[in-house]
């Protein structure tokens, strides 16, 4: 479990994150979203123990990143947007070198590397220098290194950025696999559709402060859904008469579609009213607000 407790981080006179608090439970995926410069990467780097906060703390499975950094770090894996390595190393040599810090012998590390490289799609590239790796391969290699200690918590910072469709699918499936295994996953991304599809909860950060935390279900329920009705034999006058009789005024007629922007308790009565008026309803569906619409709605309220 990741427990972020009131962290504040300043760079000279600039407050990058201000009293940020939230948690990521075991078996949960939490998305962290915000505009560029909102504080996403700083939050993740403080959580990873790479940056020291001016205030607050982060607790990883009961260990403080400030007071028990070694134990906390062993319980968390971190894949940054732009991984940095000693690029002159061969991948296998660098992996064995890092594994030594976790108590692995060279032979044990090579066995582990063989397993992880196979699982992460890097098999056959073990003896290639890291400088020859593509951006996606570097992220997979960073993940392999993160898995050395088999941590229960993972941080993905804009990990989908710059990846092709295959790379995005790989990390999406991996996050779901970690969730199924009971791991806590925190990831930031500007690809809001991926966040919407993956996250159990979404944390919204703006100008360094948390402005909202919601599940996707809560987001969908926060705004009255549009009801879209398609009529085969559209007759505007009849439609207006039906809607007026039901005291509905918040609607638009676009071609053969009626878009109702009001809360509708009894959809069955509406359908029956259209049928009684001789109108043929071919389709009726509800359009809920998506993450992108909600994101710009709450950001716009704070500008």
% of the chain residues with pLDDT over 70 = 100
Where are the domains positioned within the chain? 2-215, 224-287
The CATH class for the domain spanning 224-287 reads alpha beta
- Cα 7 to chain centroid distance, Å, stands at 20
243 has pLDDT over 80:
yes
Q: How far apart are CA 274 and CA 88, in angstroms?
A: 72
The C-alpha angle 97, 81, 139, rounded to 5 degrees, equals 45
Contacts of 209 (CB under 8 A, 6+ apart): 17, 18, 19, 20, 39
Q: What angle do CA 186, 191, 196 make, to 5 degrees?
A: 65
**Beta-strand pair 2-11/76-79:** unpaired
Residue 266: per-residue pLDDT: 83
Asked if 274 and 261 count as a contact pair (C-beta separation under 8 A), the reply is no
**In which band, very low, low, confident or very high, does the pLDDT at 85 lie, cut at 50, 70 and 90?**
confident
For residue range 282-298, what is the model confidence (pLDDT) as tens digits?
A: 999 888 888 998 999 89
pLDDT at 289: 81
Instruction: Reduce the secondary structure of the chain to three states and give it as a string.
Output: CEEEEEEEEEECCEEEEEEEEEEECCCEEEEEECCCCCCHHHHHHHHHCCCCCCEEEEEECCEECCCCHHHHHHCEEEECCCCCCCCCCEHHHHHHHHHHCCCCCHHHHHHHHHHHHHHCCCCCCCCCEHHHCCHHHHHHHHHHHHHHHCCCEEEEECCCCCCCHHHHHHHHHHHHHHHHCCCEEEEECCCHHHHHHHCCEEEEEECCEEEEEEEHHHHHHCCCCEEEEEECCCCHHHHHHHHHHCCCCCEEEECCEEEECCCCCCHHHHHHHHHHCCCCEEEEEEECCCHHHHHHHHHHCCC
CA geometry: angle 196, 199, 200, nearest 5 deg: 120
pTM of the model: 0.83
pLDDT in tens, 100-131: 988 899 999 999 999 999 999 999 999 999 99
Backbone φ and ψ for 284, nearest 5 degrees, come out as: -140, 125
pLDDT surpasses 80 at 86 = no
Domain 2-215 falls under CATH 3.40.50.300: yes
Mean pLDDT on 157-180 = 90
Instruction: Quickly state the pLDDT bin for 11 (edges 50, 70, 90).
Output: very high
Count how many Cα atoms sit within 13 Å of the Cα of residue 14 in the half-sphere of its side chain.
Answer: 8
263-282: pLDDT as tens digits: 777 888 889 999 999 999 99
């Amino acid at each position: 479990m990741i427990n972020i407790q009131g962290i504040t981080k300043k760079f000279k006179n600039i407050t990058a994150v201000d009293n940020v608090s939230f948690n990521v439970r075991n078996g949960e995926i939490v998305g962290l979203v915000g505009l560029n410069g909102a504080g996403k990467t700083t939050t993740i780097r403080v959580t990873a123990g790479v940056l020291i906060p001016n205030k607050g703390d982060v607790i990883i499975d009961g260990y403080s990143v400030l007071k028990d950094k070694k134990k906390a770090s062993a319980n968390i894996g971190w894949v940054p947007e732009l991984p940095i390595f000693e690029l002159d190393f061969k991948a296998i040599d660098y992996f064995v070198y890092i594994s030594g810090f976790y108590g692995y012998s060279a032979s044990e590390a090579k066995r582990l590397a063989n397993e992880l490289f196979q699982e992460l799609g890097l098999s056959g590239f073990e003896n290639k220098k890291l400088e020859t790796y593509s951006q996606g391969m570097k992220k997979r290699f960073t993940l392999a290194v993160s898995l050395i200690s088999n941590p229960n918590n993972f941080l993905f910072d804009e990990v989908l950025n710059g990846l092709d469709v295959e790379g995005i699918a790989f990390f999406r499936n991996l996050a779901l696999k970690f969730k199924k295994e009971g791991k806590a996953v925190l990831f930031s991304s500007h690809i809001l559709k991926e966040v919407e599809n993956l996250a159990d909860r979404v944390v919204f950060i703006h100008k360094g402060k948390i402005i909202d935390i919601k599940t996707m279900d809560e987001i969908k329920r926060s705004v009255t859904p549009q009801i879209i009705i398609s009529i085969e034999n559209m007759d505007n006058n009849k439609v207006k008469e039906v809607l007026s009789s039901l005291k509905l005024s918040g609607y638009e007629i676009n071609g053969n579609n009626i878009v109702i922007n009001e809360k509708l308790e009894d959809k069955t009565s509406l359908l029956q009213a259209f049928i009684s008026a001789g109108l043929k309803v071919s389709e009726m569906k509800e359009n809920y607000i998506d993450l992108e619409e909600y994101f710009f709605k709450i950001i716009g309220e704070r500008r």
